[in-house]
Structure 1
Amino acid sequence: MHITQLNRECLLCLFSFLDKDSRKSLSRTCSQLRDVFEDPTLWPLLHFHSLAELKKDNFRLGPALRSLSICWHSSRVQVCSIEDWLKSAFQRSICSQHESLVNDFLLQVCNRCPNLASVTLSGCGHVTDDCLARLLLSCPRLRALRLENCARVTNRTLAAVAAHGRALQTLHVDFCRNVSAAGLLRLRAACPGLTLSAEHSAAMIPDQPPLARGCAASVSPAAPGGQCLPHATSSCG
C-alpha cells in the first residue's frame, strides 16, 4: 500500500510522530501530503530550541496551538542579557541579528493562536513587556506563562497579568532581574489564587541606566530622605 492510500486520519497520525523538518520534507512529495502538513490540527504543540528555528517554514501557526515553548540555551543569551548601554559595538551587532525575532513571532501567535494555553520562554533576552501584555490580551485561555532569564521583563508584565490574565493559573518569572519584590507583592495581592514562582528574580540587581547610576553615586550620606546632592564633578539630571 502506498502512503497516499491511507485516509486523512491515518496520515495525520503518521505525521504526528515526525519532527518539524521531517514533516516539511514529506509534504514536498505530493499535494495530498502537503494538505496534511497544512492541517491546523497537526500543530497543537510547538517547541523551539533556538531563535533561528523561528524563521523556518517547517511549522504552521493556527487555532489548534495549545502549547508553545522557545528555550534558547546559547552563549549569546549572556550577550542579550547585558544592559544595552553597556554593550560594545560588537555585542550590539550580535543582538541586532535576532533582537526582534521573538517579539515578531509572538505577534504572529497573538493573531493566529487564540486558544493558546501554555507559553514557556527561556533565554529570550529581548522579549518585551508590551509583547507579553498583548499575548495575555489575545490569548484569553492562557493558563500557564513561564518566563526564565528574560532580562527585559519588568513589573509591567506583572501588572498585565493582574489586569488581563483572567485564566492564568501559573506564572514563573525566574531569573528575571527587573522584576522587583514590590511588584511581586502587588501581584500576589491582586491574584491570590495564582501559583507564582520568582526564583532569584527579586534578589538580582536590576538594570540601572547611566543617569540613575550617576544620581546614586552623588547621594550624600547626610542628605535627608536620600536626596541627590550635586557634587563638584557630577550632577543629577
Structure 2
Amino acid sequence: MDRESPCASHISIFDHACSGLPKITPIPHDLICARPQPVSISSLAMHLTELDQECLLHLFSYLDKDSRRSLSLTCVRLRQVFLDPQLWTLLHFMSPCELRRDNFILGSSLRYLAVCWHSSRVKVCNIEDWMKTTFQRDLCRKHESLVSDFLERVCHMCPNLVSLNLSGCGHITDHNVINVLQSCRRLRSLSLENCARMTDSVLQAVVNHGNSLTEVRVDFCRNVTQAGLQDVRDKRPEVHLSALHSADMIPDSKPEEKTRIRRALQKFLIFS
C-alpha cells in the first residue's frame, strides 16, 4: 500500500482547517482604480457660534475692548458673550475719554481696574484751579468729571474689586477714592500716582476703611504730608506703603495766601 506523501498530507490538513472560514470576495478592479472623492472643508468646519459659552469667553479674552464690541455686533449669540460679566474681570483705560465708549461692561466680576493717563494735558489738570487761565479751564471742563463719575459707577456695580490704579487723574478728589474704599471692601491694592487733589483724608480712609488693603501707593501726590504717611505706618503696619516724592513736593495754597505773600514781598522790595 502506497503511503501518502508528506506534502499532500499537509495540504489536506490546511484545506480542512480553512474549510470553516468565509470566502474572501476579491475587490473589483474598478473600485481599486477609482479616485477618492474630495471632502468639502465647509462640511468639516465648526461655526464659531457652535462653541459653548466657556470656549467663547476664552476666545474673547484675547481681544481688546474694541474688537470684542465689533464681534458682538455680528449676531445675538456673540452679543450674549460680550455682555457676560465673567468676560470683564480686568479693565485698563489709557485716557479719561475712553470712559465714554460703550465697548466694555461693568459688573460684579471686575477685579482689576486701571485708568492711566500719560499725556502733556495732565500738567494742565494739575494746575491749581485759581491759577488756570480761561483756555486751561475750558480744556479741563471737557473731561474733569469723567473719572469721578466713572468711579461712582464702580462703587455701585463692582463690589468685588481687588485692585485700583489711578494715574494722571488730576480732577478726582478725596471723596471719590473714599467712596471706593467704603464700597469695595475686598480692595487689596490702591495706587494713586500724580493725582494732585489727593490729601491726607485718603490716608485716613485707608486706616478706617481699607481693612483688606495690603499695598498702597501715593506717588507724586503733592498734597499728601509726611504726618499723614506716618499715621498709616503707625496704625496699619501690615500695609506696604509707597510715597515717592509725595511729602517732598510743594502743596497747593489758597489764593489769599498767595496774595499776602506777594504783598509782603512787594513791601520788602520797596523799603529795602
> Tell me, what secondary structure is at the counterpart of 2:60?
helix
Question: Following the alignment from structure 2 to structure 1, what is the Cα–Cα distance between the partners of residues 260 and 228?
Answer: 23
Matched residues, percent identical?
Answer: 58
Amino acid of the structure 1 residue aligned with 2:237: P
Amino acid of the structure 2 residue aligned with 1:73: H
Counterpart of 1:13 in structure 2 is: 58
1:215: how far off?
Answer: 4.3
Q: Determine if the alignment matches structure 1 residue 213 to structure 2 residue 258.
A: yes
1:178 to 1:193, Cα distance in 2 relative to 1, 3 A: same
Q: How does 1:141-180 map to 2 (within 5 A)?
A: 141-180=186-225
Q: What is the aligned residue count?
A: 223
Corresponding residue to 2:236 among 191, 204, 209: 191
1:193: how far off?
Answer: 1.1
Amino acid of the structure 2 residue aligned with 1:162: V
1:44: how far off?
Answer: 0.4
Question: Following the alignment from structure 2 to structure 1, what is the Cα–Cα distance between the partners of residues 243 and 149?
Answer: 26
Question: Following the alignment from structure 1 to structure 2, what is the Cα–Cα distance between the partners of residues 214 and 88?
Answer: 17
Q: Which runs of 5+ in 1 are unaligned?
A: 221-230
1:219: how far off?
Answer: 7.5
Structure possessing the higher radius of gyration over alpha carbons:
2
> Tell me, what secondary structure is at the counterpart of 1:176?
coil
1:216: how far off?
Answer: 4.9
**TM-score under structure 2 length normalisation:** 0.79
1:185: how far off?
Answer: 1.1
1:217: how far off?
Answer: 5.7
1:145 to 1:11, Cα distance in 2 relative to 1, 3 A: same
> Tell me, what secondary structure is at the counterpart of 1:11?
helix
**TM-score under structure 1 length normalisation:** 0.91
Task: Tell me the alpha carbon deviations over residues 116-171 of structure 1, each in whole angstroms, 9 at most, x when there is no partner.
Answer: 00000000001110010000000000000001000000111111111100101100
Amino acid of the structure 2 residue aligned with 1:141: R
Amino acid of the structure 1 residue aligned with 2:190: L
Runs of 4+ in structure 1 off by over 4 angstroms are 215-220
> Tell me, what secondary structure is at the counterpart of 1:172?
strand
Q: Determine if the alignment matches structure 1 residue 75 to structure 2 residue 125.
A: no
> Tell me, what secondary structure is at the counterpart of 2:211?
coil
Q: Determine if the alignment matches structure 1 residue 44 to structure 2 residue 121.
A: no
Question: Following the alignment from structure 2 to structure 1, what is the Cα–Cα distance between the partners of residues 203 and 105?
Answer: 30
Counterpart of 1:225 in structure 2 is: none
Amino acid of the structure 2 residue aligned with 1:97: K
